[in-house]
A and B are shown apart, each in its own frame.
Chain A
Amino acid sequence: MEYVSPEGLRLDGRRPMEMRQIRAEIGAVSKADGSAIFEMGNTKVIAAVYGPREVQNRNQQISSHALVRCEYSMANFSTGDRMRKPKGDRRSTEISLVIRQTMEACILTHLLPRSQIDIYVQVLQADGGTRSACINAATLALADAGIPMRDLVTSCSAGYLNSTPLLDLNYVEDSAGGPDVTLGILPKLDKVTLLQMDSKLPIDILENVMQLAIEGCKAIANYIREVLLENTKQLEYRRGV
């Protein structure tokens, strides 16, 4: 199947280095300490953060730093066919772990000893790049909750199909079986906190694909900063500052 046309256009009309339209909204869940909706094209994710709060299971309490927990689940209606087991399967468990480890790298857990931070991520619509969208939503939710962080974590995927590096893969491109690199970075510190890759890829091409993903991450970071700044201005306005 031809994923990039001779004119250099992808199946959804994007250019190889073009991202899908992104949209973010803060404060979607009133009961949560922090929450956000993040959309990348047709992929739609909602994240909520509860905490820092008292550790539920005393055996898990850590005296030196906070305990970070994460749960990723997909709504039954998030994919084309109704899902039977939206959570508890291997994939959900693996993504939960990936998100937790990625977020732990940026949260200043030592400032919140003997406490627990719960990150819940729910996929409402899935069209490729769900784990990237989840990490971006979780970052926004943590910022909204006022959890101290070293830097924002932003994530984006890139792939290599028809001898062309592609940025921000959708479901059709993702399931083509080609290499898929998911990258998470701390943009200000310029450090990589997540790197996952499926399939084989020559090292020299990996550099190009990774560079493309980094550019995507930085573009998302700029957008997230704008959203947070706008949200802060609105809060100031409401409080009459």
Chain B
Amino acid sequence: MLIFVISAIDFHMPPICSPIVRPGRPAEASPMVSKQLSNTISSSRMTDLKELSLVSGKAAWMAYLDIYCLDADGALFDAALLSAIAALSHLQIPSIAMNDDGKIVLVSDEDGQKRAQEPVNKEKRKLTLRSIPFSLTCILHKNYILADPTAEEESIMETHVTVVLDTSGQLISLYKPGGPVLAYTSAIQDCAALTRQRVKELNNFLDKANSAMEV
């Protein structure tokens, strides 16, 4: 039996991010984006959750993903998903060992002495991310498609379409929460085409950021 835990994903919108958000009551977008993120990350199968398992049937890592919105200026889900993926691609799983009592202990190599216990996972390693999902939110207005809207545009126009594609071009999710404009198949396909273009840009952007982090 394997034990592994789906990461707990929280999207926070502190009152700092927007004049609409006031202290005391959480922003209504916050739980919605959290749920959307959780669904997208789990359904895309970008991470193999077995990698979070330490000892089969006994211990596993719990990955918490906290995303803070510091400036809410539209397309919150797109920004949140990108930051979540960037954080997961930067995540390092530390070396750990299991002592005689069956407790998990961190293994440090800094002192250069011989390890007392053999590590369960051989070295600090990164999660393997495959088919990374990226998203693009569009607004439908009359005959126009407005990609990546600002908060002002979002407040004026009510029909949003969020398309999530992975790097292999597969559709992960499609989200259209109501709105007065009915989306025709052609409009959805246009949104998907724009997203496909965006995926390439964001993937390059992420690769550059990751390579800059490597020493």
Chain A interface residues (CB < 8 Å from chain B): 28-32, 35, 46-48, 50, 53, 56, 69, 71, 73, 75-77, 82, 118, 120-122, 124
Contacts and interface: CB of A to CB of B under 8 A. Distances in A.
A71 B15 contact: yes
Given A29-B70, A82-B66, A73 B19 contact: no
A32 B16 contact: yes
B10 A31 contact: no
B23 A71 contact: yes
Nearest to A47: B16
A48 B66 contact: no
Given A31-B151, A76-B10, A118 B15 contact: yes
Contacts of A46: 16, 70
B70 A122 contact: yes
Size range of the chain B interface in the assembly: 10 to 19
A29 B71 CA distance: 5
Given A73-B14, A76-B10, A122-B14, A32 B66 contact: no
B27 to A, nearest CB: 13
B123 to A, nearest CB: 22
A75 B68 contact: yes
A31 B71 contact: yes
A124 B71 CA distance: 14
A122 B16 contact: yes
A118 B24 CA distance: 13
Contacts of A82: 64, 66
B72 interface: yes
B66 A120 contact: no
Contact of B19 (A28, A31, A69, A75): A31
B19 A50 contact: yes
B115 to A, nearest CB: 24
Contacts of B19: 31-32, 50, 53
Contacts of B18: 31
Contacts, number: 51
B71 to A, nearest CB: 5
Contacts of A121: 16
Contacts of B73: 30-31
In the complex, which of the residues A35, A48, A56, A69 has the most CB atoms of chain B within 10 Å of its own CB atom?
A: A48
Interface string B17-43: 111001100000000000000000000
Closest 5 CB pairs of A and B: A120-B16, A76-B66, A48-B16, A29-B71, A71-B23
In the complex, which of the residues B16, B70, B73, B151 has the most CB atoms of chain A within 10 Å of its own CB atom?
A: B16
A47 to B, nearest CB: 8
Contact of A31 (B12, B17, B64): B17
Given A32-B19, A53-B19, 18 more contacts: A31-B18, A31-B19, A32-B16, A35-B16, A46-B70, A47-B16, A48-B17, A56-B22, A71-B15, A73-B14, A76-B10, A76-B66, A82-B64, A82-B66, A118-B15, A120-B14, A120-B23, A121-B16
Contacts of A76: 10, 12, 64, 66
Contacts of A124: 68
Nearest to A33: B19
A46 B16 CA distance: 9
Nearest to A51: B19
A59 B27 CA distance: 24
Contacts of B66: 75-77, 82
A146 to B, nearest CB: 16
Contact of B71 (A28, A47, A53, A118): A28
B16 A29 contact: yes
A73 B10 CA distance: 16
A48 B64 CA distance: 27
Nearest to A31: B18
B153 to A, nearest CB: 14
A15 B143 CA distance: 66
Nearest to B18: A31
